[in-house]
Amino acid sequence: MDSRTAFCGALLLLVTLLPLSASASSKLYIVYMGEKKHDDPSVVTASHHDMLTSVFGSKDEALRSIVYSYKHGFSGFAAMLTESQAEAIAKFPEVATVEPNTFHETHTTRSWDFLGLDHNQPAQQPGLLKKAKYGEDVIVGVIDTGIWPESRSFDDKGYGPVPARWKGKCETGEEFNATSCNKKIIGARWYGRGISAELLKGDYKSARDNNGHGTHVASTIAGGEVQGVSYGGLGMGMARGGAPRARLSIYKACWVGGSCSGAAVLAAVDDAIHDGVDVLSLSIGGAGQQFPGTLHAVQRGISVVFSGGNDGPVPQTVGNALPWVTTVAASTIDRSFPTLISLGNKEKLVGQSLNYNAAMNNSGFQDLVHVQSCDTESLSLSNVTGKTVLCYAPAQAAITPPRAELHSLINRTIEAGAKGLIFAQYTVNLLEILTSCEGFMSCALVDFEIAQRIASYSKMTESPVVKISPAVSVVGNGVLSPYVASFSSRGPSLAFPRILKPDIAAPGVGILAAERDSYVFHSGTSMACPHVSAVTVLLKSVHPDWSPAMIKSAIVTTYHQKHAPIKSSLYLTNPSKYALIIILPSSNT
């Protein structure tokens, strides 16, 4: 090893361990320079060093400042700069944009059957899944929180050699060694530079997924067939990805808490272009946020799929609205988890729950108390210890989104000593917020009509009691679907108001997929995005000569009314308008 190599290696280690500059006035900026001017990555990186040197006046300072050099798919870099240095770099004619680094948020046994991607299709009528050979050897890049390689969904039994065109690598790190990759997970990289030490402290310094989000997404796209999967008996079936024979390359750019550095995401996109992925899936973003580096991936034939965001139903909240990517909204599927709510007057009502633990209800009926808003003051003034609490306050329902309110409410009622919870909300499909109501206590979600009947019983009875039974699984035509989820971000886009976004809706409510060594339900456009990523893989397999634009067009313009028309607009506030839901292209596509 020569002295220059050793010096650069030491600097790289320093940047990795101490990502923040010693100068208190400097912060991380992303410098985007568009198409790279040279095929040799080392020449592109050298041009970045030269530009920084001209601003700092010292090559040593320039090398210390740089965090990422984007050199494969496009040109640019992320560096620690003062405001005046950023302004100086922005004046270079070859620089397109200079922006401060921002952090973005991370946005199945039934869903594939709901879409018509039945695994056991008749031989005489092969559908897209069989025509695509289950996504055989298509490579999907997943930019997210990493992966849990030991999950049964990523078993590589029966896989052939890694495609010869693959140029990626398996980066080792904490609790992630070379054997963590296999013929299914063929690549893994992680991006810790530019991330604060505090954020890194609670996570694995490797591609291992401590959050669970990335594993859930990856298994929804390309997880292998795993029989007998459920969440405590709910949602029982075969868990699999939409393209179960596709290969995975993992890019961990998001850390505990779902925080994704824009500089790291662009580095992952740049590496994915170099590695040779066919499809990129990103369940991350934020309202108004864009990733222009993805244009270079699309120019090289890589289809890019993004989640649209979870800031609905407010209009103009959709993110990732670049015209060359596919932006996905979330919708429901024909599955629900009803739970029986028995009142002391022998009236039986139905709510929804993920409560599968019969032991939570072994005491039978519990005292019932209506605490209306269930804020901290109301709970402290009511005697709720050992009781089931009804939280029903219609006048306040519009103030806080149900998903956010339920999570806080569960914590407050547990701290107050309650043993059960009935939460009333207006949302069209209570399953959208159901994943918060699990495991902690006997819990059920109800609409306002059911809540009013419970409240009336409580008011008219001297000693009201209630029993919440464990939930059961119901699928099929009896469950009204699809609906656009209330949390799903709506258009039009603030960045591109004349471009219709989101492009498509896909299942994103109550999706059961892998997390660590088990399988759990999650809801969000993060869950919808991998469904479209998987369909993109299948179309890529059947039509390898199609461009990303052709694949996107095939997805967003193909509609077949297998289910009821979708009820809620993705683009307007008028709920009478229909929006698209992804239904698989016909067998002739």
Give the residue numbers marked as catalytic. 144, 213, 526
Element (H, E) at 273: helix 262-275
| Distance from chain centroid for Cα 514 | 13
> CA distances (Å), 149 to each of 185, 271, 516, 520, 527, in order?
8, 21, 8, 16, 19
Element (H, E) at 188: strand 185-190
**Pairing relation of β-strands 185-190 and 97-100?**
unpaired
Q: Are 464 and 344 in contact (CB under 8 A)?
A: yes
| Sign of the C-alpha dihedral computed for residues 584, 502, 497 and 36 taken in this order | negative
- Nearest of 491, 475, 472, 483 to residue 508 by alpha carbon: 483
The half-sphere exposure of 238 on its side-chain side, counting CA atoms within 13 A, is 15
Dihedral-angle region of residue 168 (phi above 0 means left; psi in -120 to 50 means alpha; beta otherwise): beta
In whole angstroms, what is the distance from residue 423 CA to residue 449 CA?
A: 12
Find tokens 């299709």 and name the residue: 121
- Buried residues in 20-31 as b, exposed as e (16+ CB within 10 A): bbeeeebebbbb
Q: What is the CA radius of gyration of the chain?
A: 25
In whole angstroms, what is the distance from residue 400 CA to residue 153 CA?
A: 37
CB-based contacts of 383, cutoff 8 Å, min separation 6: 369
Q: Are 452 and 371 in contact (CB under 8 A)?
A: no
Q: Using H for helix, E for strand and C for coil, what is the string for 349-362?
A: EEEECCCCCHHHHC
In whole angstroms, what is the distance from residue 531 CA to residue 511 CA?
A: 10
- Nearest of 82, 71, 195, 83 to residue 145 by alpha carbon: 195
What number of residues does the chain have? 589
Q: Using H for helix, E for strand and C for coil, what is the string for 372-386?
A: CCCCHHHHHHCCCCC
* Structure-token pair, residue 22: 């010693």
At residue 60, φ and ψ (nearest 5 deg) are -60, -45
Q: Are 495 and 321 in contact (CB under 8 A)?
A: yes
| Distance from chain centroid for Cα 324 | 20
Q: Are 503 and 304 in contact (CB under 8 A)?
A: no
Q: Is 134 helix (H, G, I), strand (E, B) or coil?
A: helix
